[in-house]
Structure 1
Amino acid sequence: MRYGIVIFPSKPVQDEINAYRKRYDPHYSLIPPHVTLKEAFDADDEEIDKLITEMKHIANKTDPFTINVNKVSTFAPVTNTIYLKVEPIQELFDLAETMQSGKFPENQTYSYVPHITIAQKLSQDEYSDVYGSLSMKNIQFEDKIDRFHLLYQLDNDVWTVYESFVFGKEYV
């Protein structure tokens, strides 16, 4: 099965972000707005059970933290993806790095850039118009993060929560 590990912002922040995603992101209906900690990977039941135990340990040792989202940026020229930049903080990098080592498969394609995608798979003309328009907006979000989520992909490509891991909570 295909899995991924993400952080979801709070519902009010997701609602704001979805106002953009609904128009510009073809994956809008497949997954809510999120910050990826570990990109999609394949694992069988035995492997995922071991990883869940590991994620519980990681969550136990992690304190809640605040993320700040404060501007529109892009991955161009690599892709025509437009995203909201999440200020790079050590807690995000530590979580993402931890999930590339130990029992986790090492599958990181690019250097870790904390972000929330708002537009992708745009033609060059669409990309130029949308990025030009969105980059002039004053976007400011601050959000408290107290958990991360293991997702799995359904047969219809929709991602759904398999399990959530609350920071600082003692798992048995």
Structure 2
Amino acid sequence: MVQRCIMIFPKFQNNNLIEEIRKQHDPLYQLVDPHVTLVFPFHSDFSKDQLREHIVSALKDINTFYLKIYGVSGGSGGYLFLNVIEGKDELSEIHNRLYTGMLEQYKPDFLYNTDYIPHMTIGRIADKEELERLIEHYKTMNETFEELIKEISVEIIGDDEESIIEMTIEIN
């Protein structure tokens, strides 16, 4: 079985700022580039072609869209997030479409009890007080991260948690 994840890897002009924060707070910093997760990690025996066919079909009338990220928040599990402020509807629509058909069985249980909230993880902090301190600290960051999204990617999560891009699919 292969463990995969489906994501968007934005290439913001000011990506270096995200990387500086991730280097300090994200244990996956060296393993995966900054991303927005659309389909959470899942194990399957699907072939690359089967998965590509499903994704292309799910995205058939999805157009390129503008992604804008600004502001910091925290999530359960000690996560530090950058917030999506433009492109939320498109990301949610893609997320919902991908979790149909062959991928429906891989939808995590928590998504049946809460809405998908598009975000970019920039850290994972075990100590709740430290997480709150960092949220307050990064609230002063006035950077906006913007890009036209033209593709999504499927990664294979390697044995050492490294990201191996299996395929990239263009959005119309």
Please state which band the TM-score falls in when normalised by the shorter chain.
0.7 to 0.9
Q: Is the 8 A contact 1:74 1:80 kept in 2?
A: yes
Q: CA deviation at 1:62?
A: 2.0
Q: Which residue of 1 aligns with 2:81?
A: 83
Q: Is the 8 A contact 1:83 1:116 kept in 2?
A: yes
Q: Which residue of 1 aligns with 2:40?
A: 39
Q: Which residue of 2 aligns with 1:132?
A: 136
When structure 1 is superposed on structure 2, of 101-110 and 115-124 the one drifting more is 101-110
Q: Which residue of 1 aligns with 2:154?
A: 150
Structure 1 SS opposite 2:102: coil
The CA distance in 2 between the partners of 1:94 and 1:143, in whole Å, is: 18
Q: CA deviation at 1:51?
A: 1.9
Q: RMSD of aligned C-alpha atoms? A: 1.7
When structure 1 is superposed on structure 2, of 54-63 and 89-98 the one drifting more is 54-63
Q: Is the 8 A contact 1:3 1:41 kept in 2?
A: yes
The CA distance in 1 between the partners of 2:125 and 2:148, in whole Å, is: 30
Identity %: 24
Within 5 Å, which residues of 2 pair with 1:1-172? Answer: 1-46=2-47, 48-75=48-75, 78-87=76-85, 89-104=88-103, 105-108=105-108, 109-110=110-111, 111-168=115-172
Number of matched residues?
Answer: 165
TM, length-normalised to structure 1: 0.87
Which runs of no fewer than 5 residues in structure 2 stay unpaired? none
Q: Deviations over 1:124-151 (max 9, x none)?
A: 3321322221122213122110000011
Q: Deviations over 1:71-91 (max 9, x none)?
A: 11111xx32211000125321
The CA distance in 2 between the partners of 1:37 and 1:162, in whole Å, is: 15
Which runs of no fewer than 5 residues in structure 1 stay unpaired? none
TM, length-normalised to structure 2: 0.87
The CA distance in 2 between the partners of 1:147 and 1:59, in whole Å, is: 10
Cα distance change on mapping 1:11 and 1:139 into 2, 3 Å: closer
Q: Is the 8 A contact 1:150 1:161 kept in 2?
A: yes
Q: Is the 8 A contact 1:3 1:153 kept in 2?
A: yes
Task: Please state which structure has a larger fraction of its residues in strand.
Answer: 2
When structure 1 is superposed on structure 2, of 117-126 and 23-32 the one drifting more is 117-126
The CA distance in 2 between the partners of 1:15 and 1:59, in whole Å, is: 30
Q: CA deviation at 1:60?
A: 4.0
The CA distance in 1 between the partners of 2:12 and 2:144, in whole Å, is: 15
Q: Is the 8 A contact 1:26 1:121 kept in 2?
A: no
Q: Is the 8 A contact 2:12 2:145 kept in 1?
A: no
Structure 1 SS opposite 2:156: strand
The CA distance in 2 between the partners of 1:106 and 1:24, in whole Å, is: 28
